[in-house]
Structure 1
Amino acid sequence: MNSNIFATFETIAREGNDAPFLETDDGQIVSYAQMLGTTARYANALIGLGVQPGDRVAVQVEKSARNYCLYLATLRMGATYLPLNTAYQLNELAYFLEDAEPRVLVCDPTDLAAKSELARSHGVAHVMTMTDEGSGTLDVMADAQADVFDTTQVSGDEVAVIIYTSGTTGRPKGAMLTHASLLSNGRALTKLWGFTNQDVLLHALPLFHAHGLFISSHCALLSRSRLLFLKKFNAEQVLSLLPRATVMMGVPTFYTRLLDQPEFTVTSAANMRLFVSGSAPLLAETNHDFQRRTGQIVLERYGMTESAIITSNPYVGERRIGSVGKPIDGVEVRIADNKDQMLPPDQIGGIQIRGSGVMKGYWRKPKKTAEEFTSDGWFRTGDQGTLSSDDYLTIVGRAKDLVISGGYNVYPKEVEMAIDALHGVGESAVIGIPDRDFGEAVTAVVVCKNESLTGDQIIKSLKGQLANYKIPKYVYFAPKLPRNAMGKVMKNILRDTYKK
């Protein structure tokens, strides 16, 4: 049996044949049969460039149907797909080329001479271009290839994708996800979230991140459903497409922007059976507003680059607002102290995971990999949380974001929730700023709805709600919080901005 994840996709796609697989926002429709032909041509083109199983194919292009078919083609011929954020500049790109040593770099034609020179200096054999309309050098090469390809036999332990962590602290690390881990995760989510071939997934996420590349899309491939494939999120466009869709996956920003649309109502969301949010925390206030507006609760789940999805609220059953749900099939979760000993329910500690969805390790970083796993095989996520007696996980913050003030641990999420509940506050981020007396001073950066709100008012409102050591020593106001491509607040930038 071929453990290549594409072999499973191929079997399902052949059953679908002429059924629509992907529809772009300009009306292009790609059937399952056409997807098989396109991936065969790209796979043959990669072989023609000397790509061998296990070689890395680095891709930095805008989202398109061709881009997604290139991802599937890379899996199909047994190479390793390396997605790169389209916002990376040349100096950032240099790090990934040096670290991953890809055989091929696929990019858009913009600034091609500089990219080619950079790639050559890092030993990349070929620099190819890809465009939405199919005029790139790789597109032209692929279009001349045969539309048949025997999917390469690989073991489940072979690396399918390397995705670099967001790099909000330190240099990015390449998480190695295998064919088996991706298939296990995809099957668990397809079953958990109730996907069938009658579903239509509204896909407005980027393809350089796990959320858009495979967490959402693999559910469609494994259920033979359809993708409405948008280049990017636009609230008005998404609102107009909701009557044609049944499922939407997004980051919290998607849902706040939908709520800003007066036309977003129970009626406009009537055809939708499921809204899913991930990649960043969804404010409880946002979910309550969403429920009031649509009658539905956004399903929150928890995942990370190193393991795809870890926990999820149920499709059928209690969706506990503020919690990220229960461990999915194939994944175990425990809360541990700083000696890796399991803690009882409802105690705050480090979130640790193990199971079939966890990465193989960090690319060419065996020492770092070993450091992140416990002696009994659990991966330390770096997140802090609690696990209830009925296995619902709640995240209270990142370990690296823990504020230690006067010898006391302050979990930012707890303070943020208290601030966010105040009248006139839009959102907040709590950080630790170096302080001579306290070690770190609890500091809040607040985005307001009410311009007249003051720091003293916020501090006064928190007194009586929180222990004194948790109350911010300083409150700053900002028009918005800095976020990375997937909507996560970059607290390292806030710490640099507001340090004394």
Structure 2
Amino acid sequence: MPDTASRTQSMLPDRPWLASYPVGMPTEIAASPYTSLGHMFETSCAKYADRPAYTCMGTTITFGALAKTVDAFAAYLQSTGLKQGDRVAVMMPNVLQNPVTIFAILRAGLVVVNVNPLYTPRELEHQLKDSGAKAIVVLENFAHTVEQVASKTALQHIVVASMGDLLGAKGLLVNFIVRRVKKLVPAWSLRGHTKFNTAIAKGKRLTLAKPDVKAGDIAFLQYTGGTTGVSKGAVLTHANLLANAAQMSLWIETAFVNKPKPDTLVFLCALPLYHIFALTVNGLMGLVLGGHNILIPNPRDIPSLVKEFGSHKVTIFPGLNTLFNALLNNGPFRALDFSSLVLTFGGGMAVQRPVAERWEKVTGCSIKEGYGLSETSPVATANRLDLPDFTGTIGLPLPSTDIEIRNEADENVPIGDVGEICIRGPQVMPGYWNKPEETAQAISKDGFFRTGDIGRMSADGLIKIVDRKKDMILVSGFNVFPNEIEEVVMSYPGVLECAAIAIPDAHSGEAVKLFVVRRDPNVTEAEIRAHCNDGLTNYKRPRIIEFRDDLPKSNVGKILRKELRS
């Protein structure tokens, strides 16, 4: 795999985005004061010991208490015989046990393999086999999935957590409700497993042996979502994630130019921590800044999410377009007090302008869109946080980040031309786990990661995503990008959600099919067509319109065009 260090400080002859940087923003990040993420965790917990670190279901854990619990679990993991560099899978939603487990794995010198808890047995088996994970920590709600595949994998140790763990006395009531009332725990049997609280208790009687972890060592195998093919593990080193934390720390400070920075930043963590966006922006940034993360176990439960939003003076809310849209369509949410909200950070998918405009009207806070991928730890670009406007772009490259827009010949195209977005920087992975051929295809010889996203750069360095390569529709030789169609359709008041895909066409090669979820049940196909006629040239207009009650989404809320195509 390419050497990350050799390609991080290379300077392009022209970096037009630097002229658009906020006043005082460094062009390069400083050398990290931390040797590893475990070192950063230890330092931050000591610095912010008395501050709240995480709250979930009404229970709060301080940084000081978090450190003690993490070190106990890390000591337990070491006692099982796991060696430095062994992989440990984590299969949990946003509950307190999740950050405890992640940081314990890192403190023990092991490698985190984040797993979507809603995976099918087939998907889980692939990820466990591919990563070679020797242990897994799973919430009991999903233990039945592990049961079906454990014997086919390299798993040697299984820790099973319950929803009520770490909630004190009320945890018994929570477990009763989850198991007996709501019946959210299917029957399971895993021979030789250890209960999460038992592991913590054992670890408290042990001493953590601090491993010699270096910045270049692997911290995470972050598996891609699998929507573009077979899921593969992006190798993220401690250096990659420390760099992205440093980049984001510099960028976030500019959000408080026009609004005072509170003593404690409150992050609402609705996106799952197993997703790279929340892992870095909530988990690692919360750690660096001494922030208080409000964990939302089920973001699809909009009423509960709104209740949590209203119960805390939320400062920073990372989310994505579908979540923003769902909240805007909730009456109690629109009635909340948003005076504490300083930053709404959009990522994971394109934020549609109609949604952004409604969000700012309701909350008084504009959405600041950023961009990144699992392979870039993830944030590579972001809009300026000190300016009020929604730009409709993914913003500027972060400090120490180079971005080129390249053509099929791997050449940088002129400013304003469309091409593939390619990224180089200290946050870019060294490669894919055990996939040298995939790595060679993804990373150019001069160290640029080929994202597969199509975009253009303006003269002032702002980057606009046009679409994914795979989603592009070719109509009679003309490129049609679904994002453009969807943004136009979403501006129609009676539309709740939509998605555009390519379908075969005997005359034009491909044509556009549009799926629509109505907000107003009386909206007709003729009205949608008239609206498209006003906003789209002929070849971009949908040939077929299909109304649906909902659209397929990933667990983090991305609309899955792949499923619509199939």
In which range does the TM-score fall when normalised by the shorter chain?
A: over 0.9
Q: CA deviation at 1:323?
A: 1.4
Q: CA deviation at 1:167?
A: 0.9
Question: 2:41 & 2:88 partners in 1: Cα distance?
Answer: 20
Q: Measured at CA, do residues 148 and 297 of structure 1 come closer, stay the same or move farther in structure 2, by a change above 3 Å?
A: farther
1:79 is matched with which residue: 110, 133, 138?
110
- Matching of residues 24-423 of structure 1 within 5 Å: 24-26=56-58, 28-110=59-141, 112=143, 115-116=146-147, 118-134=149-165, 137-146=195-204, 149-194=208-253, 198-233=264-299, 234-240=301-307, 241-242=309-310, 243-264=312-333, 268-307=337-376, 308-423=378-493
Q: CA deviation at 1:87?
A: 0.7
Partner AA of 1:37 in structure 2: K
Partner AA of 1:165 in structure 2: T
Question: 2:471 & 2:482 partners in 1: Cα distance?
Answer: 7
Question: 2:479 & 2:115 partners in 1: Cα distance?
Answer: 36
Partner AA of 1:187 in structure 2: A
Partner of 1:176, secondary structure, is strand
Structure of higher RCO (CA pairs closer than 8 Å, 6+ residues apart): 2
CA deviations on 1:196-253 (whole Å, 9 max, x unpaired) are 7521212222122112223222111001122222323344444444452222222223
Partner AA of 2:55 in structure 1: E
Q: CA deviation at 1:166?
A: 0.9
Moved more, 369-378 or 311-320: 311-320
Question: 1:459 & 1:261 partners in 2: Cα distance?
Answer: 27
Question: 1:386 & 1:203 partners in 2: Cα distance?
Answer: 31
Asked if 1 retains the 8 angstrom alpha-carbon contact of 2:359 and 2:365, the reply is yes
Asked if 2 retains the 8 angstrom alpha-carbon contact of 1:397 and 1:413, the reply is yes
Partner AA of 1:214 in structure 2: T
Question: 1:185 & 1:245 partners in 2: Cα distance?
Answer: 23
Question: 2:161 & 2:452 partners in 1: Cα distance?
Answer: 37
- Number of residues of Structure 1 aligned to a counterpart in Structure 2: 495
Q: Measured at CA, do residues 263 and 450 of structure 1 come closer, stay the same or move farther in structure 2, by a change above 3 Å?
A: closer
Question: 1:184 & 1:437 partners in 2: Cα distance?
Answer: 50
Question: 2:529 & 2:509 partners in 1: Cα distance?
Answer: 20
Q: CA deviation at 1:160?
A: 0.5
Moved more, 41-50 or 240-249: 240-249
Q: What is the TM-score of this pair, normalised by structure 1?
A: 0.92
Q: CA deviation at 1:112?
A: 4.6
Partner AA of 2:83 in structure 1: Q
Asked if 1 retains the 8 angstrom alpha-carbon contact of 2:421 and 2:450, the reply is yes
Question: 2:514 & 2:274 partners in 1: Cα distance?
Answer: 31
Q: Measured at CA, do residues 244 and 295 of structure 1 come closer, stay the same or move farther in structure 2, by a change above 3 Å?
A: closer
Partner AA of 2:36 in structure 1: N
Question: 1:226 & 1:132 partners in 2: Cα distance?
Answer: 20
Q: Measured at CA, do residues 225 and 63 of structure 1 come closer, stay the same or move farther in structure 2, by a change above 3 Å?
A: closer
CA deviations on 1:151-186 (whole Å, 9 max, x unpaired) are 422221211111111111321111111101111111
Partner AA of 1:185 in structure 2: N
Partner of 1:182, secondary structure, is helix
Asked if 1 retains the 8 angstrom alpha-carbon contact of 2:552 and 2:563, the reply is yes
1:11 matched to 2:43: yes
- Percent sequence identity over matched residues? 28
Q: CA deviation at 1:417?
A: 2.2
Q: CA deviation at 1:311?
A: 0.9
Give the gaps of 5 or more residues in structure 2.
1-32, 167-193, 254-260
Moved more, 385-394 or 59-68: 59-68
Q: CA deviation at 1:344?
A: 2.1
- Two-structure CA RMSD over aligned residues (Å): 2.3
Question: 2:346 & 2:513 partners in 1: Cα distance?
Answer: 28
Partner of 2:479, secondary structure, is strand
Question: 1:349 & 1:402 partners in 2: Cα distance?
Answer: 12
Question: 1:218 & 1:410 partners in 2: Cα distance?
Answer: 38
Question: 2:551 & 2:497 partners in 1: Cα distance?
Answer: 8
Moved more, 158-167 or 266-275: 266-275
